[in-house]
Structure 1
Amino acid sequence: MSTDYQRAREELGRRLRELRVESSDGRLTGTELAQLLGWPQSKVSKLENGRQTPTDEDLRAWAEAVGQPAVCAELRARLKGFESHIRSWRRQLTAGHGPVQETWNTLVGEARTLHVWENNVVNGMLQTPDYARNLFEHLAEFRRSPRDAEDAVRARMKRQEWLYRPGRQLKLLMWEGALRAQVCPPEVLAAQMDRLLGVVGMDTVHLGIVPLDAALRLPPANGFWILDDRLVTVEDWHAELWLDDAETIALYRRVWDTFAESAVFGAEAQQVIARARRSIKV
């Protein structure tokens, strides 16, 4: 997947390789550097090829091992530049929502476990086509982006095939307010609630609902996705934020775990969904 974020990580990897090759003690092989650092050789390879994000300590150790400790500040500045990567909607949506959804298909397709908190609408992994279509049409109008709702819907529905692959797990928490948001016609919302009732109990879906009257230890705040504990994505009005430093990922996982304490699952979740379904005046 080619993204600004990934390109920045690959550029940092190339810089690390350059420092290894130009070591003050002569050219080091990847195996030799790994031995100096006490790392598996695979870690050196992943860092140089942009397949793993280094920590501050990794960069300090690398700079010292190649005999150039002064370069550590430069490396840390590069890292800081993409630890919190902002992907603006204005830039992403120049060709419409369809290409953005295809990028997400690639991102999700590479994951085996998703931890998701959704606080405002039904999550895209469980949306019906009609519900998704209404959202894309509203967002295209709001953001004045190309109107390609049908392409976007097809891409989002394709992503849901992930739910039927062995070994996948969607661990989804939703605020009850997301079930009640009137973002589409009543008949579409009613069908969406029926869809949610049907997925409770699916082997690959662990669905929890946080009731409106549940005691909360944190405010609902923004929704987010955690992909395999390697990447967090957060959506705001102006941009998506992609975060993959270990400390931030751990923070968002604690947030998810905290909301899970207030959620209900199984039959109790079905009761909350059914209550929202009954409130819809079709």
Structure 2
Amino acid sequence: MSTDYQQAREALGIRLRELRLSAPGGRLTGTQLASRLSWPHSKVYKLEGGRQTATADDLRAWADAVGRPDVFPELDARLKGFESHIRSWRRQLAAGHRPVQDSWNLEVSRSTVIHAWEESVIPGMLQTADYARAVFLRYADLYGTVRDTEEAVRTRILRQQWLHEGGHTLRALVWEAALHALICSPAVLAAQLDRLAGLIGMDTVELGVVPLGASLKIPAANGFWVLDDRLVIAEDWHAEIWLDDADSVATYLKVWSTLRDSAVYGPDAQNVISRAQRAVRPQR
């Protein structure tokens, strides 16, 4: 959990405690408030101590129980403010992958230049439909979520229209390991590599590949995307992290530039892709 996220959760907890102690009808103990809410008293103290994330329903109930329903909009705004940065996969995928792809499409449509780094998969905007389908199914299995796979695939492929519009540039870096990862069948990976090779030289795509044998100035960590100079979207196993403060954007762009120093482009990138193609289609 990020420090910023935890600090925001603790700040919300302090505000909840203030409301309990200054209730219009008189100061409430944690036990009294828990009784009003029919909650275990431990929940009150976990929320106040920043050890549990409140839901909007929790906050509305708290505001009503302390006699301050008028403060719910403030509490809800605080919650949305820090939850917008840490987007739990389990919460996001409760309705399937399609809504997540819709959110991405909206942000991409607002962007002019996108910097991407992927260390284990082909970047979504460069995926074939079959490759995207395999990825969505793997994650649906992992999280036990709704299988709206075909809708998600169509929405991801729709996002690729951005590459065919003038004035846009995708600066994508991929670690060579992603070219060999059989997250899908060998046949699907072979077709995906063919597509990747065909993108080299496209005027809206700058594709760099970091060879496995390249000297790295920093470790190859989780994938991330930087949309213009306004938003970073990074992925971890538990959540997708959205960061829009200037310092974070600058840090991720610096990471991207550092990784780029290890990448190859043009014919050299084509050679790395060809090596992966030969591996997935061994000579008979």
TM-score (norm 1): 0.71
Deviations 1:123-149 (A, max 9, x none): 000000000001111111111000111
For 1:84 and 1:91, how far apart are their aligned partners in 2? 12
Q: Is 1:171 aligned to residue 168 of structure 2?
A: no
In the alignment, what sits opposite 2:128? 128
Residue aligning to 1:12: none
Correspondence for 2:183 = 183
Structure 1 residue matching 2:120: 3-state secondary structure = coil
Contact 1:108 1:227 in 2 (8 A): yes
Q: CA deviation at 1:155?
A: 0.2
What is the aligned-residue RMSD (CA, Å)?
Answer: 2.1
2:248 is equivalent to residue 248 of structure 1: yes
Once residues 238 and 248 of structure 1 are traced to their aligned partners in structure 2, the CA distance between those partners, rounded to angstroms, is: 20
Deviation at 1:165, TM superposition (A): 0.4
2:85 aligned counterpart, secondary structure: strand
Task: Give the share of equivalent positions with the same residue, in percent.
Answer: 59
Deviations 1:236-270 (A, max 9, x none): 11111011111111111110000000000011101
State the 4+ residue runs in structure 1 displaced beyond 6 angstroms.
none
Give 1:155-170 correspondences, 5 Å limit: 155-170=155-170
Q: SS of the residue aligned with 2:261?
A: helix
Which residue is 1:217 aligned to? 217
Question: 2:103 and 2:85 mapped to 1: Cα distance?
Answer: 16
Find the counterpart in structure 1 of residue 261 from structure 2: 261
- Amino acid paired to 2:224: F
Q: Is residue 205 of structure 2 the alignment partner of residue 205 of structure 1? A: yes
- Correspondence list, 1:68-83, <5 A: 82=82
1:161-214 per-position Cα deviation (integer Å, ceiling 9, x unaligned): 000000000000000001111100000000000000000000000000000000
Tell me what 1:274 maps to: 274
Contact 1:83 1:245 in 2 (8 A): no
- Larger Rg belongs to: 2
Q: Whole-Å Cα distance in 1 between the matches of residues 209 and 281 of structure 2? A: 22
Structure 2 distance, partners of 1:216, 1:262, is 6
Q: Distance in 1 between matches of 2:82 and 2:169?
A: 28
Q: Is the 8 A contact 1:83 1:244 kept in 2?
A: no
* Letter of the 1:114 counterpart: I
- 2:103 alignment partner in structure 1: 103
Q: CA deviation at 1:281?
A: 3.9
Kept after mapping to 2: 8 A contact 1:83/1:243: no
- 1:232–1:252 Cα contact (<8 Å) kept: yes
- The 8 Å contact of residues 121 and 178 in structure 1, kept in 2 or not, is answered as yes
Distance in 2 (CA, whole Å) between partners of 1:83 and 1:94 is 16
SS at match of 1:279: helix
Aligned to 1:232: 232
Number of residue equivalences: 208
SS at match of 1:264: coil
